[in-house]
């Protein structure tokens, strides 16, 4: 789909606007969408199966390996704005089931914001063994930056910041894990300018107001880098160290001020090393400008931090205890001694000078 409009349709099963079927016996079923409007479509089904992650605008079907005759349907979506969609349950913008694979990149990617749901307003991904042929441990990669380069500053349902490395990985069905994300951003001019696909005003009676998936969804194109950080402690005994520290990540392009992206928490490993890597970071902005990433430690009481290194070779943050300045009494005593010494030398000099005269 490179243009046109899919508007005001209704379905009692997955995909109010578009249904992407799973591939059958070695066949691929791929939908590529780079332009057009998918708006005001409705999915009214309830229950399990295709209904559970229904997809008001788009639904992508798929099966796990218990159904060998099928393979996941695929959606490749670029330069899209996914806004103002509604789900009665989770995932107003996007929801994917346990069998799904989700990749959301910055380059030619998407912007998800201002969607509506009971929880996980923008993104919801579930791991579970309760969905039969759709059960599994979903994998995911989610950009910390939206189309246009603005940082989502992702939050969970309790309003807590989500660490950057939580934005990629695999959820485990044995633990009934899920990922729910929302952003406080309600409008972004850069994303609106770059968008060629508009997915908006769609509704699901279950999950996935904009997009619901049991299959494979790729939004944007992979163009990623990583930033390593090592923590060192100078002249400090290990017994006096904090249990963890938080490191903030900033990004900029040449000539611009750094903007906050997110944070990660460092804890020492079994060998006492304090190291972490910020993963899944976009290399460039929409215009091909290379991002410059920098880091900063959130203040730790009783320590001062010095950052050295660069994004290519990794950053080193060295903490030390500031030297205690002299007390008032200590300063007063030594000042008095210094003054008396200078006075004595002056008197001796004057006395010698008079004798010579």
DSSP 104-128: E-TBTTEEEES-B-SB-SSEEEE-B
CA 93 to CA 119: how far, in whole Å? 11
Given a cut of 50, whether residue 115 has pLDDT beyond it is: yes
Domains, the chain, ranges and CATH? 2-219 (no CATH), 224-320 (2.60.40.1140)
- Average the pLDDT over 299-314 and give the result: 92
CA 59 to CA 76: how far, in whole Å? 12
> Residue 266 in contact with residue 274, Cβ under 8 Å?
yes
CA atoms within 13 A on the CB side of 295: 31
- Average the pLDDT over 130-154 and give the result: 93
- Would you say the C-alpha torsion 89, 60, 122, 294 has a positive or negative sign? positive
Band of pLDDT at residue 330, cut at 50, 70 and 90: very low
Q: What is the pLDDT of residue 47?
A: 73
How much of the chain exceeds pLDDT 70, in percent? Answer: 89
Q: What is the pLDDT of residue 51?
A: 76
Given a cut of 80, whether residue 332 has pLDDT beyond it is: no
pLDDT tens digits, residue range 100-111? 999 999 999 999
Given a cut of 70, whether residue 310 has pLDDT beyond it is: yes
């Amino acid at each position: 789909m490179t243009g046109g409009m899919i508007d005001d349709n209704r379905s009692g099963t997955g995909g109010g606007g578009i249904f992407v079927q799973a591939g059958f016996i070695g066949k691929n079923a791929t939908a590529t969408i780079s332009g057009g409007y998918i708006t005001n479509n409705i999915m009214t089904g309830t229950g399990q199966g295709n209904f559970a992650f229904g997809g008001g605008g788009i639904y992508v079907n798929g099966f796990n390996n218990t159904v060998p005759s099928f393979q996941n349907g695929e959606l490749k979506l670029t330069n899209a704005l996914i806004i103002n969609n509604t789900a009665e349950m989770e995932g107003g913008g996007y929801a994917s089931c346990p069998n799904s694979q989700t990749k959301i990149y910055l380059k030619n990617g998407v912007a998800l914001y201002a969607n509506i749901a009971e929880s996980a307003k923008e993104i919801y991904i579930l791991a579970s063994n309760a969905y039969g042929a759709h059960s599994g441990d979903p994998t995911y990669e989610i950009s910390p930056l939206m189309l246009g380069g603005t940082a989502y500053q992702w939050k969970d349902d309790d309003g807590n910041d989500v660490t950057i490395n939580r934005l990629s990985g695999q959820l485990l069905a044995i633990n009934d894990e899920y990922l729910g994300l929302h952003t406080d951003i309600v409008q972004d001019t850069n994303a609106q300018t770059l968008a060629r696909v508009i997915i908006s005003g769609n509704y699901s009676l279950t999950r996935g107001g904009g997009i619901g998936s049991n299959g494979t969804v790729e939004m944007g194109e992979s163009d990623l880098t990583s930033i390593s950080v090592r923590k060192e402690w100078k002249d400090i005994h290990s017994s006096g160290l904090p249990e963890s520290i938080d490191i903030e990540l900033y990004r900029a392009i040449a000539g611009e001020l750094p903007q906050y992206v997110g944070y990660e928490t460092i804890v020492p490993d079994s060998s006492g090393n304090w190291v972490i890597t910020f993963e899944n970071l976009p290399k460039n902005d929409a215009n091909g400008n290379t991002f410059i990433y920098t880091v900063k430690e959130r203040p730790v009481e009783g320590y001062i931090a010095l950052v050295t290194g660069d994004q290519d070779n990794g950053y080193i943050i060295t903490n030390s205890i500031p030297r205690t300045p002299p007390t008032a009494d200590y300063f007063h005593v030594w000042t008095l001694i210094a003054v008396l010494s200078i006075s004595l030398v002056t008197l001796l000099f004057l006395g010698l000078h008079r004798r010579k005269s």
